Structure 1
């Protein structure tokens, strides 16, 4: 294969860009374009790995080439072919591999032959569906087109008659690269440091909701970010030009049509004789992924019935408040609130009525008079209130009495209606040795002590003395 050595020595930035696109599309840390060369495999395109190659005996890609079919290894530690491989046992710690063989026609009239593979690597096991494999194979076609175009370019130097074929190959490459950009909702860009202009691929224009053009001043490109994120990305670009530091950041973004999006911007320096002459990178529309993350975060931190904080959010908030109070010396209080006769409501009036009561409790716990106190539902009919307002903590008895008054809900009609009330246990943070577990344990003891004595009351444990105070509703 006379052109194989030239392929290895002729680096093509588009191969690394496709590797970066694949890594981002499939959320893996490493993506490679490998070529098998005697006793080594050489990475002519790479993302997420500094090494330029490995010994052939460690090559996963060799297996894909030999079998002339895609190779997927869900967990290399469980695969007898690879479990003892140095790349599995040591750095980079390969656990997952998916590779598609790359077939290139090295001479006119010859059939295409396998010369390497386009692969994804992760350091944790993972599944890879048929749809995933189809997408990877589509990207691999783009890699093959680039490699074939490079071979054609080399051959053109020997045979001027191949110019027409080269042009067709390049056109196909552009179409396939464009398809890859559309599939991944991303594009590539280059910034000229001297001219302060930026050129975009069609994918970047698509994200901006603009027709393709010939580039624009950097300042105009920055105008699509809201002020805070514009300042952030401008600083990163200037730092990259000044120091050669790469960046990878997610930002809010407003397209030319006024559509709010979330984008991921990746940039790295372009060097000439050791000097930064520009930046190159990838621009990715991650709006759908970001919105999904926000929704999952909301579900994890918000109770679905009452829309107050969930137990998960409560735990995080209490830990933060304890740490802050211990550092500042300020006071902090915790109320545990248990609803009385709530089970009877569900049994008598149904769970819909019970949910209405829970929502009414949540509304009262978010009343303006409680300030920035955090209300949370811990489960069932148990709520919590975390109080950090110093003026409010100074009047804890009055706060508790008011809560006992407003957290009373008559159910049904007649002379003796069922009344859902609240019993409350209140404690303060004691000192540097106190923690969330201690707070909850003491508040729980105070709550059930009050419940044992008289429902609809509050038992308060003072922070500076062991005694407790029993309170009833104000008014």
Structure 2
């Protein structure tokens, strides 16, 4: 079976040992980022087995069916290149296939995922795709984001395969002492490539054995036995307790453990590792713990960068609506005894439509960028700023100095939001109306935002009323508004 091309592909897939496994945070994070970055309803990471399409991770509202995805992903595996279908209903390859329409798939973009085969070849084993019930397009930045997420997914697959191989090699080396030297050399090469090291701990004697890979991960010279005693001092105290508890529980229950922790290496650099351990059983008794350490610093930093990118509004550089909702929800979810005083300020720009209609959208973008900069100024004392709509902004304020006088805060903020913009001989001064609400003990997110919106609408009505009274006394309004 494995002599054919399909057989070699299936062998690479089965070597990953991912089929029919529980959800994993790394793969769930990738599909969640895909939906945020590409703005599509569904993102799916799937593995293509013989005769079935198995979904490892999925992020959507459940409106996208799976049979249509299977058709498209099977085609993608065969073609082995990125596929983008802007409108399946208008694509001659697919518009006659009722299954896509029944599953609500109009837009689809997918990238194949590869894994190394036993013969050194690279085999397609699955896909990372996004789908949507509406037709759409992807710009070059979105295409690049999907491809980079696919690279991240492939690195997870490769690291998983390397980790499994390294753990198998470590166990085999213990059982086959006569072949120890050869296997040690092979294992050392695998450790260097995968940034992995193995360890063995004997509770009865306190003896710890490290492979060269563990020394390398911690920035220590190989074989420096004196350094082992000071190793755990490089980990924060709470994480040391976490490691101890995980090890004791594994010895007591016989179950393996897997955790991720941060530490500072010998060079003073902060790094992140994945620790995997399991009991070594002799005559039904646990005599030692064996396991792996894997340096996942680069992957973790990449994920953090992707999360920050997904949370930022590209035009203004401040947070977007999704990040704002999450931060506000987390703040309100704090227990009452720990909840800090909080004020929400919502901002609606005045005359913004006039800027776009009169001076053009480029001038409107300049206004939005200026507002983004002014919502990050030092006097706001680290308030969390977000763009929550086209010309709508919000601030989460927790500094006592700003909370002490909300009226003064609103007055200064509205003054700072006066942004004059000029094109040709026309100058329009935009401004912002601010509504605030203070968090009470019984507020939830919806009530908190509604209270701030209500105050905003009241402030806009007062401003419009004042403007009309001024206009009646000063004559007809001028078409050209001078900058303040």
Pairwise TM-score range, normalised by the shorter structure: 0.5 to 0.7
Give the conservation status (yes or no) of the 8 Å contact 1:71–1:99. no
Match of 1:305 in 2: 315
1:439 to 441, 448, 451: 448
Q: Mapping of 1:193-272 within 5 angstroms? A: 193-213=203-223, 215=225, 218-225=228-235, 229-230=239-240, 232-233=242-243, 247-271=257-281
Match of 1:341 in 2: 351
Give the conservation status (yes or no) of the 8 Å contact 1:358–1:381. yes
Match of 1:424 in 2: 434
Residue aligned with 1:256, SS: coil
Distance 1:142-1:130 versus aligned 2 partners, 3 A rule: same
Match of 1:75 in 2: 53
Match of 2:295 in 1: 285
Distance 1:134-1:219 versus aligned 2 partners, 3 A rule: closer
Give the conservation status (yes or no) of the 8 Å contact 1:72–1:99. no
| Larger deviation, residues 211-220 vs 199-208 | 211-220
Distance 1:438-1:226 versus aligned 2 partners, 3 A rule: closer
Task: State the Cα RMSD in Å.
Answer: 5.5
- 2:351, 2:394 → 1: CA distance? 18
- 1:435, 1:451 → 2: CA distance? 25
Deviations 1:170-218 (A, max 9, x none): 6554444334333432121112334433212233233234453275564
Distance 1:324-1:273 versus aligned 2 partners, 3 A rule: same
Offset at residue 285 of structure 1 (A): 0.7
1:383 to 393, 396, 409: 393
Task: Give the unaligned 5+ runs of structure 2.
Answer: 1-14, 23-47, 56-66, 71-114, 120-124, 131-149, 468-484
Q: Mapping of 1:64-463 within 5 angstroms? A: 75=53, 172-213=182-223, 215=225, 218-225=228-235, 229-230=239-240, 232-233=242-243, 247-271=257-281, 277-324=287-334, 332-346=342-356, 353-388=363-398, 392-393=402-403, 395-412=405-422, 417-429=427-439, 432=442, 434-454=443-463
- 2:370, 2:332 → 1: CA distance? 28
Q: Mapping of 1:37-52 within 5 angstroms? A: none
- 1:267, 1:179 → 2: CA distance? 21
Give the conservation status (yes or no) of the 8 Å contact 2:163–2:196. no
Give the conservation status (yes or no) of the 8 Å contact 1:450–1:457. no
- 2:311, 2:463 → 1: CA distance? 33
| Larger deviation, residues 440-449 vs 131-140 | 131-140
- 1:392, 1:141 → 2: CA distance? 57
- 1:442, 1:100 → 2: CA distance? 59
Offset at residue 422 of structure 1 (A): 0.3
- 1:222, 1:206 → 2: CA distance? 15
Match of 2:82 in 1: none
- 1:131, 1:327 → 2: CA distance? 43
Give the conservation status (yes or no) of the 8 Å contact 1:142–1:173. no
Normalised by the length of structure 2, the TM-score is: 0.55
Offset at residue 340 of structure 1 (A): 1.8
Could you say which structure has the larger radius of gyration?
Answer: 1
Offset at residue 378 of structure 1 (A): 0.7
- 1:321, 1:140 → 2: CA distance? 40
Residue aligned with 2:388, SS: strand
- 2:197, 2:51 → 1: CA distance? 29
Deviations 1:288-322 (A, max 9, x none): 22112211221233333333332122112222333
Task: Give the unaligned 5+ runs of structure 1.
Answer: 1-20, 31-69, 80-97, 103-120, 154-165, 459-475
- 1:193, 1:148 → 2: CA distance? 21
| Larger deviation, residues 370-379 vs 449-458 | 449-458
Match of 2:146 in 1: none
Residue aligned with 1:439, SS: helix
Offset at residue 454 of structure 1 (A): 2.9
- 1:310, 1:133 → 2: CA distance? 31
Deviations 1:35-85 (A, max 9, x none): xxxxxxxxxxxxxxxxxxxxxxxxxxxxxxxxxxx9756536989xxxxxx
- 2:51, 2:434 → 1: CA distance? 56
Give the conservation status (yes or no) of the 8 Å contact 1:145–1:172. no
Residue aligned with 1:337, SS: strand
Give the conservation status (yes or no) of the 8 Å contact 1:199–1:215. no
